[in-house]
Structure 1
Amino acid sequence: MLNHIYPWRSLLRKSLNLSPITSLGFTKHSVSAAKLHDESADASIPNDAVRQILIGLRSFGASKFLWGHHFQTLASVLNTHQVDQILLSLRVDNSDSALFLFDLLRNEYGFRHSRVSWFIVSHVVARKGQSKELRRVLNQMVEEEGSGSAPSLCELLCNSFRDWDLNNVVWDMLACAYSRAEMVHDALFVLAKMKVLNLQVSIATYNSLLYNLRHTDIMWDVYNEIKASGVPQNEYTNPILIDGLCRQSRLQDAVTFLRETGGEEFGPSVVSFNALMSGFCKMGSVDVAKSFFCMMIKYGLLPDVYSYNILLHGLCVAGSMEEALEFTNDMENHGVEPDIVTYNILANGFRILGLISGAWKVVQRMLLNGLNPDLVTYTILICGHCQMGNIEESFKLKEKMLSQGLKLSIVTYTVLLSSLCKSGRIDEAVILLHEMEVIGLKPDLLTYSRGAVEEAIELYEEMCSKRIYPNSFVCSAIISGLFEKGAISEAQMYFDSVTKSDVAEEIILYNIMIDGYAKLGNIGEAVRSYKQIIEKGISPTIVTFNSLIYGFCKKGKLAEAVKLLDTIKVHGLVPTSVTYTTLMNGYCEEGDMHSMFDMLHEMEAKAIKPTQITYTVVVKGLCKEGRLHESVQLLKYMYARGLFPDQITYNTVIQSFCKAHDLQKAFQLHNQMLQHSLQPSPVTYNVLINGLCVYGNLKDADRLLVTLQDQSIRLTKVAYTTIIKAHCAKGDVQNALVFFHQMVERGFEVSIRDYSAVINRLCKRNLITDAKFFFCMMLTHGIPPDQDICLVMLNAFHRSGDPNSVFEIFAMMIKCGLLPV
C-alpha cells in the first residue's frame, strides 16, 4: 500500500490548518448543562407550565394541543431548562410529540434550544431508526453551534448520554455532520474521542472525512485509520482517495494505488478512472487520459457521461475539435446520452478556435436532442459573436436569454460592455451599466478596465453637450481613471478644460492631479499644481501635502519632504498618520532605520495613533535589517492592539523568511493568515512558489501550484513563469511545457520575454532541440523574434554544429529587419 512521505507534507498540511487524527489532544471543557433525569422524571417536574403542557399533550395529542391558544400562552414563558424536562419526559412514551414540539418551538416561535434538547431529540430519532431525520437534526445543531464546538459537545455526550440507547449512532452522525459542514477539526476531534470510548465509526463518516481532506496528505491518516479499525470499505472509499491524489497532482501515485487495490472487493470503478482522466487532462496529457478510457473498458466498466465529458473537454482545450466530434458520436453509439455540459464543452471548443458557426451547429444538435440552451450556452455564444465583432447578434441573444427567464451573469455583461466600448458606442454602454445596477449586479474592476481611455473624455463631452454638467465627484473619477490608464496628457487636458468651468471644490481635482503626478515620480508637475493652488487662493488640505511628501520621498528627496511638516503647520493643518507613515517609509527605503523609528516616536508623542500601514512599514524595516524574529513579534503586537495585518504585511515577512531559507516559518505564517481569516493574495503564493523553486523542492512547488488551481485560487502569471523557468533551469523540459500550456489556457498573455526566458535557459543547458521547439512555437503563435533571441539561437546552433539552422535564423533576421551584429 502507498505510504509515501514527501518533503513539505507537514507544511502543506499546516497550510490547510488541519491535524491528523493521531495528533489530537483532549482538553476538558466545562459544560453548564443540567444533569439529566431518568425516564421516570415526571415526578420532578419543576413548575405548573411544564405540567400543563405534558397533560395537554397526553389528553389531546400533539397536533391538536400544540396549535391551540392555550399552548401559545404557555410557550411564551418557557425557558430552555423547562423544554429539556418536557422532551425528557416525552422521549420514550410519546416520542412523536417530542419531535413535533421541538420543531414547532424552533421553527414557529424562534426558540433557541439547549444542547441537552438537541441531543435528546437526536437520540429519539436514532431510536426510531430515522437516519435521514437524525442527519437533519445534527446538521442543524452543528450549523448553530459553529466551528470549535466539538470539545464541549463531546463532553456533554460523555457525561449525560453515555448509557442511552443508540448513543454510538448519535456520536457517529455528529462526526459526519461536522464533516459535511466542512468543520474538519471538529470532525477529527469527535472521531478521536470515539476511539477513546471504543465507539465504532461508520464507513459513511470516514468517507465524508476522506472527501473533505482529499486535497491534503491527512487523507492517508484517515485511510489508515479505516484499515486499522476493520470497518468494511464501500465502493466510494478508494475512488475518493484516487481523486485526492489526482487533485494533489500525484498522478503516478494514483495509478499505483489503482493497481494495488485492483484485486480488492471494491476494485477499480468508473469514478476512479474519471478522476485519473481529469487529472491527466488538467496536466495537458490528453493522450494518457485516453489510454485510461480504454483501460476502463478492458476492466469491463462502462464509461458514463462524465467520462466522456472529461475527455471532450481535454480535446477541445487542445484544439482537437475533429477528434472531439468523433468521440461524441462514439458516445451516442454506445448508448450514452450527451447532456447539456457535453454540448457546452463542444460549443466552447469552437468558440476558442473562433469558429462561431461550429458553435451554432452544436446548439442545433442540442435542440434536436431535446435540450435547451442554458446560461453557459448563451454566454459562450455571446462571447463568440463579440470576438467576431458582431455586437448586434450578441444583443439579440441577450434579449432571447431574458425572454426565457435566464439572468445574465457579470461575465456576460462584461463581454457586452467591452464590445460596446471598443466600438465607441458609449450611450449604449452607459445604458447597460444602468441595467446592471437595476438588477443588482455591481460592475467589478474587470468590467471598468475593459474600456478605452477615450471613453471617459467622450462621455464627458457628450454629457456637456446635453447640458448635464458633471460635479467634482464625477470629474475626479474620470481624472483618476485617466491616470490609472497612463493617459497623463489626456488627464491634464481634461483637468484644464474642467477647471475653467464652475466645478465646485476644485481642491479635490488639484489633489488628484498632484497625487497622480507624485505617484508617477514627476514631482516637478506636482509642485507646479501646488503653486497654482496658492496663486488661485485655494486652501490646500492635508491630502495635498501628503501627496507632495509621497512624491519627494519617491524621488529620494527626504529633506524636502520633512520640511513640508513646517509648511503644514503654517497652513493651520495637523499631520496625520498618513503623513508620518509616508515619511517613515521614505527613511525605510533609504535604509535609515534610526530616523524611521525617530519618526514613529514623534508620531506617538503627538498622540497620532499608528495604523496597520504604519506597522507594515516598521515590519519592512525590521526585515531589511534581518530582524525577522522581531517582525513576527510585531505582528502579534498588532493583533493585541486591535490592528490586523494585511496580505502586504504578511508577504513582506514571508518573503524575508524564504530568502533566509526558512521555508517552514514561511508556511507557518501562511497558516497564520488562514487562522485569522485572511485570504493569502496571489503575491503570497508567488513568494511561496518561488521559495520552493529556489530553496526547496521543485516537485513541492508543482504540487502547490496544482493544488491552488484545483481550489480555484486566483493566481498571477508570475506563478507560472517562476515554475517554468525553474524546470528549464533543471533541464526538465516536459514539465516546463505542461505549465507553459496551462499558462496559455488560463488566458495569460504570453510575450516574447516569456519565450526568451525559456529559450535562454534551455540553451544554457545545451538543450538545443527543446529550445528550437519553443522558438517554433513562438513563431506559430504569431510572436516575431527580436534580435536578442535570434542571437541566442544563432550561438546555440553554431555550437551544436547545425549550419542549416544558422542560415535559417540569419535569413529570418534579415527578413524581420534585424541586422545581424
Structure 2
Amino acid sequence: MSSSLTPKRIPPPNLLRRLINPKPFCSQSRSSRAPDYPARDSNSTGKPLHESASPKRPVNSTLSDSVPYPSTSKYGGDIMNEARVIDALLGHRSDPRSALRYYNWVEPWGGFDQDGDVLWVLVHILLGCRETFAPARDLIIRYLSNYSIPKPSVAVNRIVYCAEKFGFELNSRAFNYLLNGYIRARRVDDAVDCLNLMLERKAIPFVTYMNSLFSALLRRNSMDEARELYHKMVTLGVTGDNFTTQLFMRASLREGKPEEAAEIFGDAKSRGVEPDGLMYSLAIQAACKKPDLSMAFGLLREMREKMNVPSQETYTSVITASVTEGNLEEALRLKDEMVSCGIPMNVIAATSLIKGHCKNDDLVSALDLFREMKEKGPSPNKVTFSVLIEWCCRKENMEKALELYEEMKLVSIPPSCFHVHSMIRGYLKAQTPEKALTIFDESVESGVANTFICNSILSWLCKQGKINEAINLVRMMESKGIEPNAVSYNNMILAHCKVKDMEKARIIFSKMLEKGLKPNNVTYSILIDGYSKNGDIQNAFDVLHEMDSSSVTPNEVVFSSFIDGVCKAGKTSDARDALQKFISELNFGPSCRTYNSIIDGFVKEGNLDSALATYREMCDNGVFPTAVTYTSLINGCFKSSKMDLALKMTKEMEDRGIKRDIPVYGALIDGFCKMRDMEKASALFSELLELGLCPSVTVYNSLISGYRDVGNIDAGLDLYKKMMNDGIHCHLPTYTTLIDGCLKERKLDIALDLYSKMIEEGIKPDFIMYTALVSGLCKNGQLVNAQEILEEMEKKGKIPNVNIYNALIAEHRSEGNLNKAFALHDEMLDKGVTPDGHTYDVLIGRKAGGGVDSHNNL
C-alpha cells in the first residue's frame, strides 16, 4: 500500500475543482511567501466546504473560478503561492484527508517543507482528527530526514506561531512528533533541546519517545544529562514506566553504582509502581553488588511471592554474591531452591560454589561438585578449571592439579597464562622445581609464556642464587620477543645484591635504564639495601640522591631499607645519624618500623642506653611504639641483666594499651630462662596458654634450653612431647638442645633416639649439633660412636671444627691413647683447623679428661 505521504500523480483539472474551494484566492502575489496572510473565511474552522451554501469571500481578495494548481509546469520558473496553498488547506480543515491529498499534489512544485507555514498548518489540521495522527507523525519524520534540519527552537516556535495565527488548538502531539523526528534522525542533542523546550511549555512528553531519548543518551554514556532531564520531567509529574526505571537502573549498574540503582528501584516502589520481573532482577543485582545480602534475599522472596519463579540469572547473582561474602551455606540453599523450581544450575553458579568450597578449605567437596558437573551438567569451562587448579596448587596437591591441567587440554580448553602460572607456583612451593621448569618449557614452546610467567621462574632462580641461569632466561625472553619489565630487572638486581656483587647489580640497573624502563621505589630500595648491608653507606646515599634527581619520590620503604640495612651491617650509630639527615634534608617522617630497626640494632650491639634514647626520641616525635618495639627493648634489658627495667618496660607497654603477644612473651620467657629463673619463665608460659595463645617453636626452645641449663632435661622432654601432641614441628635447635641435655644427664638412649627421629624427619645436622653429639658421646665414654660421627661428617664433606677435635683428643687422652690424640692433632693441621689453647692444654695433660661445654656454643 502506498503511503499517504507519497506525492500523487497530477489529477485532471475537473477532479481538482471537486477537491478544492471553487472560489480560491486569485489576486495574491506570486512570490514564494506572502508578507501577510489574508483573513480566512468563516467556514475555515467549521463544516466541510461542500456543506456551506455560500462561503464568504476573504478580505481584500477577489473570487475566481480558476483552480489553485501551479500556474506553470513543474519545470517552469514560477511556483504556487504559499498563501493560496494555506488558504486551500484551511478550506479543508474539517476534512484532514482531503487536505493531505491536496498537499501531496501541490508539494512537489512548492517546496513548502523547507520554509514557511504550509507543513505546520497541515500538521495542525491532521492532528484535529485521531485517524490522521499517523500521517502527521510521518510528515514530520519525512521533513526532518529529507531537508536541512532546523534547530528545535525554530521548529517549536513555528508550531506555536501557526497555531496562534490560524486559530488551532495547540496539541502536544505536534511537539512529541517533532521530538520523535529528531530521535529518528539521530540528532540526540537536538532531541534534548526539543524536550527541554517542551518541558518549559509544560508539554507532557510521550513515555515511549522519552524512553527512546534516554536510551540514546545512555548509549553514548551521557548518564548525567539523562538524569537531569528525568528530574525535570518528574517535577511535571511524568515519571515514565517500568522500562524507564529499568533503563536508569541498568545505566547505574553499568557505571558501577549499585547504590544508585537500588535507590531508583526504591523511589519507583514508593511512587506506587508495581515492579515487574526485570525490575526485581536488576534490583537484586544491585543488592548483590553493593553488597547487601539481606536486601537481596528479601527481594528474592518478594519476587517469588508476587510473580513467577526468578530467572536463572537472578538466582546466579545471589548465589555468586553469597559465595563472595563467605556465606556458602546460603549459597547452597539457594542452589537447591533453584533446582527444585526446575531451573538448571548454570556454569557460573556451579563455579562460584566450587570456589566457595575451596575458600572454606573443603577441596573434597569442590572436587565432588566438579565431578557432578561433568556427569549431569553444566560442562565445566575455563574458569572452573582455573579455580580448581589454583586451589589444588595452593594446597600443594600437585598430583590433582596436574590431572586437571591435562584434563582441561583433553576437552579442548587450551591452558592460559593463568593456569601455567598457577602450576609453576604450585610446583615451586612444593619444592619440585624440575616439574615447574617442565611446565614452563611447554608454555614457551606453545607460545603461552609471557613476561608474568617468565618472572615467576626468574624470581625463583634469583632466590636460589642461580644467577647464570637467570641471565640465560632473560636472553631467551628477549629472543622470543618477551620483553623483560621492571620486575624482571628488579629480580636480577636483587640476586646480585644477595651475593654481594654490587658492581653487577649496578650494571643490570644501567641496562634497565638503556631499555627505557623506569626504576621504581622497589628498584631503588633493593640497591640501597644491598649497599647498606655491605656497609657501603656512601653508595647507598648516592642512590638516594640519584633517586631524588630522577623524580622518583623515596617512600617509607626506601628509607626504611636504608636504615635497616645499615643497622644489620652493624653500624647502627651511622643509621641513626642518617635518619636525622633524612628528617632535616628530605623532610622524611620516620615510622615506627624505622625506629624499630635502630632500636633493635643497638640492642644487638649491646648498646642498651642508645636503644632507650632512640625509644624516647621516637615517643617525643609522636611515633607510637608497638609490641615489636617493646620486644626488642625487653630483650636488651635481659641481655644487660636489667630485669627490673625489663619488667618496667613491660608495664609501660601495658599502660599504653598494647597487649602482650607471642614475641613479647617469648622475650620475657627467654630472659628469665637465661637468668635461670625457671619458676617465672614457667609462670609466664602458663599465662600465655591461659590466654589461648599458641606458643611458637622459639618459645619452646627457650624453655627447653632453660631446663637443660638448670639440669632438668626431663622437663624439657615433657615440653617436647607437648609440642608433638600440639602438632608443632621441632626445628634443628630444639633437637640440638634436647640431645645435648640428654647426653649431659647420661640419657644416652634417649639422645640417640632423638637423633634418629631428627634424621627421619629430614632435618640435617649442622656444626653445633655435631659438636654437641661428639662432646656428649665422649663424656659418656662412647668414643666409638663419636668417631662414627666424625666419619659421617667427612662423608658429607664437612670439616670438623676445633671443638669437635678437642672433645675427641680429650677422650683419647683420658683413656691413655696419646698416639691417637696426637694423630688427631696432626689431622687438624692437615685439614686447616687451627688448634686453640684448650687443644694444647689437653695434649700436655693439664686438662686431661676435660672436654667442651657444648651448650656454651649452642
TM range (shorter): 0.3 to 0.5
State the structure with more CA Rg.
Answer: 2
TM-score, scaled to structure 2: 0.45
Q: Which has the higher contact order (CA 8 A, sep 6+)?
A: 1
